[in-house]
Amino acid sequence: DQQVKQNSPSLSVQEGRISILNCDYTNSMFDYFLWYKKYPAEGPTFLISISSIKDKNEDGRFTVFLNKSAKHLSLHIVPSQPGDSAVYFCAASARSGNTPLVFGKGTRLSVIA
């Protein structure tokens, strides 16, 4: 049973437009959420995070929105750039000590010039 779901395996967006990547979770104990970016044959790179006390966190072109009632979060990238093309993983954890992360299956974003 997947606790973190990314239902879109891939997404194509034109350069300059907004990319919206979605993530749903089922475990109500999760209260800390992260997005990672991964290039082929490399480890994931931390992008942005949000805790459950917030509904939005912004860092440059990247904004993460959290809707706790819907157990849904999304990553917005605007404007999208070709270098953003990668696999994006949504991850979640419960704030109960040094707990590992639970990952979604990832969404492959392709930004077309």
Residues in contact with other proteins by CB under 8 A are: 4, 9, 32, 34, 36, 41-46, 49, 51, 89, 91, 93-106
Task: Give the integer Cα–Cα distance in Å for 75 and 56.
Answer: 10
Beta bridge pairs of residue 103:
91
Q: Which is nearer to other proteins, 9 or 16 (CB)?
A: 9
φ/ψ of 82, rounded to 5, equals -55, -35
In the complex, least distance from residue 80 CB atom to other proteins, rounded to whole angstroms:
22
Q: Which is nearer to other proteins, 60 or 100 (CB)?
A: 100
Q: Which is nearer to other proteins, 65 or 103 (CB)?
A: 103
In the complex, least distance from residue 81 CB atom to other proteins, rounded to whole angstroms:
21
Task: Give the integer Cα–Cα distance in Å for 74 and 58.
Answer: 12
In the complex, least distance from residue 18 CB atom to other proteins, rounded to whole angstroms:
24
Which stretches does DSSP call E strand in the chain? 4-5, 10-14, 19-25, 32-38, 45-51, 56-59, 62-67, 72-77, 86-93, 102-103, 107-112
In the complex, least distance from residue 64 CB atom to other proteins, rounded to whole angstroms:
13
In the three-class reduction of DSSP (H, G, I as helix; E, B as strand; rest coil), residue 60 is classed as coil
Q: Which is nearer to other proteins, 14 or 58 (CB)?
A: 58
